[in-house]
Chains A and B, each alone.
Chain A
Amino acid sequence: MSRGPLASLAGREARLVLRSGTDAWIALAFAAIAGGMFPLGIGPEPNLLLRIGPGVLTVVALLAALLTLDRLFQGDFDDGSLDQLALGGVALELVCAVKMLTHWAVAGAPLALAGPVLALAFGLPVESLGVVVLALLLATLALSLIGGIGAALTLGARRGGALLVVLILPLMVPCLVFAAGAIDAAVQGLAVTSHLLLLAAIVVVALALAPITAAAALRQALGA
């Protein structure tokens, strides 16, 4: 049973994350705790919770996915694995794409799938839960792609993780607006298609450009 280079890489990335102990579940735990603190702190105000729910849900999901993003290239850079990945016949752009998509699969997608649990804590109607999942899937995918550029740029920088957050979060504002907007529209029974399509458009552009940009940043880091 022989797999291609990219399938091998995806399998390795997932295996390393799942074996790393905290990395596998820390994002989910963070989202549950941070998201759960809002209803506790605000108290039994159903209308207020319903009003802020979509925004809080999206912000918490993005922050949680961001928690493990600084590890995307750092571990491989520190132990020399990135040198090894850059050699051999696989283009660095494809390596970046696979790593970003694997980050989404193990960090972002589980958050999106767990989103409805948190949504119910804010009192969001059951009819809106499908849109919650869809909007969070797209928003976390955009984060893994755009944030991956930041992870590559901050390689080798001291306090790279904090720098990454400051660099990337402003870029995530459009995603936040459209994802929270889609969930909000679903809660109010309005049309959600335009929000989701705009979110998907961001993802498509990021899918095309982020691996190329991140690969260029990695080459700089390797050659320095």
Chain B
Amino acid sequence: MSDQAGLEVAELGCRRGGRRVLLDVTFAVPRGGALVVTGPNGAGKSTLLRVLAGLCPPSEGRLAIAGNVLAEDPSAYRARVGLLGHDSAIKLTETPAEALRFWTGYAGGRSTASPSDALAAVGLLELAGLPCRHLSAGQRRRLALARLMVRGADLWLLDEPAVGLDADGLTRLGAVLARHRATGGMVVATTHVEFGLGGEPHLTLGPASLDGLAA
């Protein structure tokens, strides 16, 4: 049954601004699985995540989540993706509760966690009514994680999710990821910090994928 299939990435390549950023990236993440992407600065980790999200079109290769192929049905593919990027995508005039209510509504019934559940899981329940401009960088990161929880995506793409988080935040991040994977969710993360994915498979992007075959 194709719905049991996870993320399949085959011979993925990407060029940006005439420069090759990714070449021949192949891996698979099964349901409930995780993958840690490592590599030096500029190796293309963030680009890989944006390509996996379906935001940045790959120049070659095949991408599929649970049998939904990006090239065949982009919106069905993107509907299964959640992204925690560098930018927190938080509006300073909104409160965390308002933001999560909106994203829950935007998910249109796919949500698997309620806004209050998500806020409790990341430890922001007491600050639910405070405008986001008063939140610290770490608290905004936690809110972005809570947004990921209410959006009901199968595949979570995390770009340095640990940045700005304290010890308690890292523990909560680990717990949230474990809960997501226990329900069949998948995780692809770039990180230099240990928060419960240490034992998972690693994909190392090197400068080789940057320079190789510049044509």
Contacts and interface: CB of A to CB of B under 8 A. Distances in A.
B34 to A, nearest CB: 19
Interface in B128-160: 147, 151, 153
A interface majority secondary structure: helix
B170 interface: no
Given A8-B102, A20-B93, A83 B53 contact: yes
Interface stretch (A87-95, A143-151, A199-207): A87-95
A15 to B, nearest CB: 7
B94 interface: yes
B68 to A, nearest CB: 11
Interface of B: 16-17, 50, 53-57, 75, 78-79, 81-83, 85-91, 93-94, 98, 101-110, 147, 151, 153
Contacts of B79: 87-89
Given A80-B89, A84-B147, A5 B108 contact: yes
Contacts, number: 90
B46 to A, nearest CB: 12
B88 A79 contact: yes
A164 to B, nearest CB: 22
Contact of A90 (B57, B81, B89, B106): B106
A183 B103 CA distance: 43
A188 interface: no
Interface in A104-144: none
Nearest to B51: A223
Interface pairs A-B: 7 shortest CB-CB: A80-B87, A8-B105, A89-B79, A80-B89, A19-B93, A5-B108, A81-B89
B94 A79 contact: no
Contact of A84 (B17, B89, B94): B89
A220 to B, nearest CB: 10
B90 A79 contact: yes
Nearest to A90: B106
